[in-house]
Structure 1
């Protein structure tokens, strides 16, 4: 391991969802703006092997890396803030580590020794951190969950030991806590944060940085109290109330006393160059003469994090085009033509399962028949070809995922995927290339004759039905290089009707929006 790498560990207390991922990503963005090479990693204590089978309504979207890792949505934050592409090494779950340890034990690799959480699991965690850190100046590690969770104890112990192994001067600890406001007494209460810091200290870790989250600005006395009772220098406490955009947090960190700590720790006193972030903030706050409404036809209506990368990609495109954006959530289970008529564009995101699919097919049908700008993602491509086939007279055209008895399976399971429908990690995952049809809309949008996008699917367009799909108004505009898989479709008679089997939202960035989303926003403006 390179002896020069520095490590920043981000933990959380009081409650989950307090903002550890955004904090870790923002610190990384500031350090990258100082000219440092930054890598980042999520260590999750869940006993799942990956995030592929986690319920999106509970955990939010499943983010997919370029090499096909199904991960926690925090990796999406990391990629957007740092403008990098992560891999399997940047997502470490306890389930995978334990599975590997058990496999090694069964293979006799421990030579008959007793396999224990300490030192074997903690050692595996540390090795995963070292592997992910290679080649960087600073490696940031977010520990999932809340300090004190039973399943997370091995991870806390691992990062405590880590400082002794690599040297305490090379490790910095940041703890994110929450301060509630009690409405009845009209005051902020720091006691939960104090307890969370005491819990961390009880495990042998004293943080140099404490990020104090709150719903609204808290008085400076709260910071002083947390510093006093938490054993932290007051300069290391940053009050961070909710802001209207998470992309403003790097600037908040850069303007704070934390920079003295980060400069000393990294041995880098260069001021962070955050001009691009400042420009992004200006565009976010700008009063726009034009505004568009994009209808997001979704089945998960209770947790917007389920479609986090999609909504972030839409916002980035709107910022780039200097237009206001309203995302109208359309319930795919109850959607009507009136819902579709009251928006400037429609977007059908990816998903699995039959619930809400009729509403998504209806959205694609409406877009085709009314020249409404349409972007289909993954399932949104499949619903587009189903809609086209039905328009061509195949009334029961469907996907075998939703109707195994259909006589016109315009979407069917890919060869080799049969029998794996309930198995994790077996989807077509990660980066795959596509070749565009000359002079197609997608070739125009990408300004190229090919593209590589990330995928997460098991079902595919049945090319036997391409003539009927074409008769219904939709043509293939992008294929896998060997011609075996349909990757992009579009409707030539519409001003903007594009769908892809891929997930382009994962490659969008706040300051570098994806061309498919930019195209949708431009088409929505033109429609108005």
Structure 2
């Protein structure tokens, strides 16, 4: 029988509901239960694919090609369970489905309303797959009090009514702000947030209190009394060194015991937390360090590169090295970029869209190529590796991507027609931007004798993609003749998936996004190899 856990947030946004939900999932998973996580986002975009990283942070891509909230990245990294299109929904997507059904005549004769029509569709989404798991853990995006979230909150109220309180647990994550002049944490915002929840018929069963310092027991008791829940279900959620410390922190405060007891399940001390202790010790043991420059254009909001940051942390845990990420704005003048690159051990060129900052990234690639600095390019990073090489090695001075200009030697060009499974898709520069990229898992063949094949130790791989433009395969022969090897190619032989420079310590660009598949207990091989090269070079020096 499936039991439901709903996680809401109060007082302020960005409290870490995703980390909260997945830490609880990790503990239940460690007890041997089957879990599934879902994210319900209130915004009206169909998906975050066309949203600025400054607005929403990174767009995470599932294996089946869904552009999703970055919280799904947490879900995968903590549980090692691949997320899918059935695990993420937005108000835009729900309303789109509702209007589509109305246009088709599904509600013929009736007035289409939020209740029951919209809430029924949300229920269908939440319950999908319930027969396959013991716990369905759903995170409600936004903050209690936001008008956009009301249909979701009404839906979970209905589910509790239909299934009974013994099968549904409501967890409210809230903030206890510290007022410096009074030298105390304040509980009033939490009380008001719970009052808001109650006003729409939801009584939280468990409250997790975020704070940047120790919470006195008297305050926890005050919250329990004011919010009508037992003392032992007001849980301390103090800030941790990293997100990977949160499951053990929750465990120390008995959150798994409280949840299982609430559902009438037997609690056992025989819980396997070995991998979390390993991760914790690995982070603690990171004394030596290497410096990696991230030459990007969304650096002022590092959630834009969340999976990338995590993948480097995973590799650092493996080698017990701290990976210091040096954020270099690719919009900086050339001399500033080169000046900052003098002190680093390796360079990462991440993905992105649009022409801003492109020339700065190309200058960094040129610097890495000429000075034998290990370089790792992902997605747009690989495309810019190709452009830099074409310009400065092959002498094709007008080399560029048609994403940026139509008047160029199109080393990178729009993939105008291709097969997505059994369907043939046609694209043009005027096509819709949303949902028209090569998204999700695609297979590619690794080239015999290539460095990337040596790293993977496989003949073929499956990796996730998120891009619209491709390396123009007509340049393949000229590139390889000049020393830039095609390390991987699509299964049909038409699309270049990786480029690598011969005679360089580590100079690889990949069209896919390996960071999506990295885990703290299973780092991605490309990140491991890149970091290993940096460590070896530093020891050699």
Residues 56-102 of structure 1: CA distance to partner in whole angstroms, max 9, x if unpaired? 11210000000110011110111111111010000011111111111
- Among 249, 267, 270, the alignment partner of 1:269 is 267
Counterpart residue number, 2:331:
333
| 2: CA distance, partners of 1:144 / 1:240 | 19
**Please, what is the CA RMSD of the aligned residues?**
1.3
- Among 302, 305, 308, the alignment partner of 2:306 is 308
Q: Is the CA contact (8 Å cut-off) linking 2:19 and 2:243 kept in structure 1? A: yes
1:277 Cα deviation after fit: 0.3
Extract unaligned runs of 5+ from structure 1.
Answer: none
Instruction: Say whether residues 1:431 and 2:432 are aligned partners.
Output: no
Instruction: Say whether residues 1:286 and 2:288 are aligned partners.
Output: no
Counterpart residue number, 1:511:
521
Counterpart residue number, 2:420:
none
Instruction: Say whether residues 1:295 and 2:293 are aligned partners.
Output: yes
1:523 Cα deviation after fit: 1.0
Residue correspondence of structure 1 range 440-459 to structure 2 within 5 A: 440-459=450-469
What is the aligned length? 523
Q: Is the CA contact (8 Å cut-off) linking 1:392 and 1:471 kept in structure 2? A: no
Extract unaligned runs of 5+ from structure 2.
Answer: 417-425
Counterpart residue number, 1:76:
73
Instruction: Say whether residues 1:198 and 2:195 are aligned partners.
Output: yes
Instruction: Say whether residues 1:367 and 2:365 are aligned partners.
Output: no
Moved more, 274-283 or 470-479: 470-479
Counterpart residue number, 1:398:
400
Instruction: Say whether residues 1:241 and 2:238 are aligned partners.
Output: yes
Residues 229-272 of structure 1: CA distance to partner in whole angstroms, max 9, x if unpaired? 11111101111121111111111111213233222226142332
Instruction: Say whether residues 1:412 and 2:409 are aligned partners.
Output: no
| 2: CA distance, partners of 1:516 / 1:257 | 37
Q: Is the CA contact (8 Å cut-off) linking 1:90 and 1:132 kept in structure 2? A: no
Alignment partner of 1:336: what SS?
helix
Give the TM-score of the pair, scaled to structure 1.
0.97
| 1: CA distance, partners of 2:429 / 2:102 | 30
Q: Is the CA contact (8 Å cut-off) linking 1:8 and 1:171 kept in structure 2? A: yes
Instruction: Say whether residues 1:27 and 2:24 are aligned partners.
Output: yes
Alignment partner of 1:111: what SS?
coil
Moved more, 482-491 or 129-138: 129-138
| 1: CA distance, partners of 2:129 / 2:512 | 27
Alignment partner of 2:267: what SS?
coil
1:422 Cα deviation after fit: 4.7
| 2: CA distance, partners of 1:260 / 1:319 | 29
Alignment partner of 1:453: what SS?
strand
Counterpart residue number, 1:383:
384
Counterpart residue number, 1:182:
179
Residues 19-59 of structure 1: CA distance to partner in whole angstroms, max 9, x if unpaired? 11110010000000000011000011111111111111121
Alignment partner of 1:32: what SS?
helix
| 2: CA distance, partners of 1:296 / 1:385 | 18
Alignment partner of 2:128: what SS?
helix
Counterpart residue number, 2:139:
142
| 1: CA distance, partners of 2:264 / 2:414 | 51
Counterpart residue number, 2:359:
358
Alignment partner of 2:192: what SS?
helix
Q: Is the CA contact (8 Å cut-off) linking 1:294 and 1:325 kept in structure 2? A: yes
Q: Is the CA contact (8 Å cut-off) linking 1:388 and 1:472 kept in structure 2? A: no
Q: Are residues 132 and 341 of structure 1, via their aligned partners in 2, closer, same or farther at CA, if it must alter by over 3 Å? A: farther
